[in-house]
Amino acid sequence: MNLMRYSLTLALGILTQISIAQVTSSHPLSSNGIGTYDSGANAITSALGNVNSVWIDSTNVNFFNPSSYSRLSKGNTLLSLGLDSRFSFYQQLDVSEFKTSTMFDHFSLAFKTSKRSGLAFGLKPYSNVGYEFSQSVYTGIDSIRYTYAGRGNLQDAFLGFAFSPISSSRSNLSLGANVSYLFGFVSNERKSELLNADASPGGLSLDLTRLSAFHYELGIHYEQRIGKRNMLLVGFTVDPEQDFNGSIENSLYTSANINAPSIYDTVFSNTTPGSVKALTTYEVGLKYKYFFKETKRKATTRRPNITLAASYSASQGIESKFEDSEDWQIGPSNCWSIGLSYAPETRLFENVATLKVLEKLNYRVGYFQRTLPFDAGGVKYLDRGTTFGIGIPILAQMSLSSLNLAFVLGERGTGVDSDLREQYIGFKFGMVFSPSNFEKWFRKRKLD
């Protein structure tokens, strides 16, 4: 077994184990609705301030804009995996707490199907819930501890296709779509426990929301080369308004020992069918790439380039419709993003033997500001951060494989001192595996 296949098997095994027992979030705001939505970024676009709709590249799988699949390199299958971690410091008045969260980000496989088309499939997150906090109240005789906790996530198993009606060395127009199956559950529970008692009696209220429905999203981009050194790309993605079938299970339990679920007594349990309506979400972006003049250095030639990208995304919100149940509604949100990337060498394979280590890397930096669909006393929550990262190509045997690291220093809050504030450090690790030129996957072999 060669090194590429061994690394691929190891990575799949590790990420499978992580995805089974992942802690998907750590913010109390994820208790709203079906949780916090995925920001729409992998390790590459995360380092660029979460610019997604225009980051079209033949060396990575951009499943947030399905029109990108037609731009993959011919004969190179790309397998993309990701891991997302966050270290958060929460503060409200004189109370503070430190939390960590880790989640499996995505799995996707993409390849070219013809000169003008490409295909991709995989699994990516849609939303997630993950929090736990508690408070104790003294009743005069005993103390009661109230614990609020949530968990779960919704996943998108997608199949995407893209086609380029215009494809030349100077111009490219591509259209694409993802069709997927959305599934999973999120739960919110409220537990009360009588302290200073021998058996810890108490009660538990549990709300469990399940969704299972088909889902689709569309993407388009147009790229135009201007002269020898300039390239401009405009991209647009839209997730149209859709209804997702689901159900809400409301249950109430009491127990002589709230820490022993096997002896719970059910007060009532009721399942209500209905649907969740996700209103329209879209993103529009612009990318400009400049190729510097070639510079001679000894027996080699350097061809650096720099890329600037910006995008705006907006969501109209989400609402529920469940029979005989209290419905909820989440308002609109939006995000501004900007990213800058610098590559010291455009043609890595030609000069790989003479390049220094730092000349092989891709350097990325960005900034974003997101208005969240939550407020405190009428003041909206803001999420903003500075991002940076690097791309490390794996150049052995002429492969398009790479490792991508992204970091974010961010803050989430209303700006009011008495409200909850989160300061966090985020880390994303992405892997793109591709067979070398000597080991093509899905190769058609012919006999002479």
Please report how many Cα atoms fall inside a 13 Å half-sphere around the Cα of residue 41, on the Cβ side. 29
Domains, the chain, in order of start with CATH, read 3-433 (2.40.160.60)
CA distances from 67 to 61, 116, 218, 399, 415 (A): 11, 11, 8, 23, 38
Q: Give per-residue pLDDT as tens, 346-380.
A: 777 666 667 788 888 899 999 999 998 888 878 88
448 or 129, higher pLDDT:
129
Compute the average pLDDT of residues 89-118: 86
Tell me how far apart the alpha carbons of residues 81 and 85 are, in angstroms, rounded to a whole number.
14
Supply the pTM of this predicted model. Answer: 0.84
Compute the average pLDDT of residues 62-84: 89
Structure tokens at 311: 């995008």
Percent of the chain whose predicted confidence (pLDDT) is above 90: 39
Q: Give per-residue pLDDT as tens, 328-353.
A: 888 899 999 999 999 988 777 666 66
Q: Give per-residue pLDDT as tens, 276-327.
A: 999 999 999 999 999 998 877 666 677 889 999 999 999 998 888 887 667 7
Q: Give per-residue pLDDT as tens, 156-207.
A: 999 999 999 999 989 999 999 999 999 999 888 888 888 776 777 888 888 8
Q: Is the pLDDT of residue 18 over 70?
A: no
Q: What is the pLDDT of residue 216?
A: 95
Q: Is the pLDDT of residue 28 over 70?
A: no
Contact 395, 360 (CB under 8 A): yes
Q: What is the 3-state secondary structure (H, E, C) of the chain?
A: CCHHHHHHHHHHHHHHHHHHCCECCCCHHHHCCCCEECCCCCHHHHCCCCCCCCCCCCCCCCCCCHHHHHHCCCCCCEEEEEEEEEEEEEEECCEEEEEEEEEEEEEEEEEEEECCEEEEEEEEEEEECCEEEEEEEECCCCEEEEEEEEEEEEEEEEEEEEEEEEECCCEEEEEEEEEEEEEEEEEEEEEEEECCCCCCCEEEEEEEEEEEEEEEEEEEEEEEEECCCEEEEEEEEEECCEEEEEEEEEEEEEECCCCCHHHCEEEEEEEEEEEEEECCEEEEEEEEEEECCCEEECCEEECCEEEEEEEEEEECCEEEEECCCCCCEECCEEEEEEEEEEECCCCHHHHCCCCCHHHHCEEEEEEEEEEEEEEECCEEEEEEEEEEEEEEECCHHHCCCEEEEEEEEEEEECCCCCCCEEEEEEEEEEEEECCCCCCCCCCCCCCC
Q: What is the pLDDT of residue 303?
A: 83
Residue in 439, 424, 434, 442 with CA at minimum distance from that of residue 27: 424
Lowest mean pLDDT among 58-62, 212-216, 395-399: 395-399
Lowest mean pLDDT among 4-8, 96-100, 142-146, 384-388: 4-8
On average, the pLDDT of the chain sits at 83
